[in-house]
Amino acid sequence: MRALAARHALLPLRIFLGVTFVYAGLDKLTDSAFLSSTGDGSIGELMRGVRDTSAIPAMVDLALKAPVGFAVALAIGELLVGLGVLAGLLTRLAALGGALISLSLWLTVSWAVTPYYYGNDLIYLMAWLPLVLAGAPYLSLDSVIRSRRSRRTA
């Protein structure tokens, strides 16, 4: 039983992060207020609100050059990362994408949150790291592809 639990230890994390990022991406893509450069709840207002407290204001300035395009890219990135991790397809690459999204959000949006452990982006960044390191060796398309390749070479 221990071996089975150890083998599937990352599965709950994969499911949680995958579902969360799919939901976040779909939520952004279907929110017309968010996909605006101005107004309450817009990406533009959010970015202008965090610009002076972010760790890298130049990163926020870059997003503010095309806020709607940035919002769409962010949402599609979250959606692809979530789907990749849920399916276990190119899991390490998808997890790296999730880690980079979380890192960029931590350095911009939640950088000034105090105490630091109230900001969720840093926690998401740390949660992605085991999947970057280990991938999805079980119950994944990666494992199916790997087993087919090993059968062909054998």
pLDDT in tens, 26-62: 999 999 999 999 999 999 999 999 999 999 999 999 9
Provide the pLDDT for residue 4.
Answer: 87
- Contacts of residue 7, defined as CB under 8 A and 6 or more positions apart, other chains included, come to 137, 138
Would you give the DSSP letter of residue 94? H
Give CA separation, 90 vs 31, 94, 110, 151, in Å: 29, 6, 28, 20
Would you give the DSSP letter of residue 117? G
| Mean pLDDT score, 1-12 | 91
SS3 141: helix
pLDDT band at 154 (very low <50, low <70, confident <90, very high): confident
Q: Tell me the two tokens of residue 124.
A: 């998401």
Provide the pLDDT for residue 7.
Answer: 87
Provide the whole-model pTM. 0.93
pLDDT tens-place string over residues 80-130: 999 999 999 999 999 999 999 999 999 999 999 999 999 999 999 999 999
SS3 26: helix
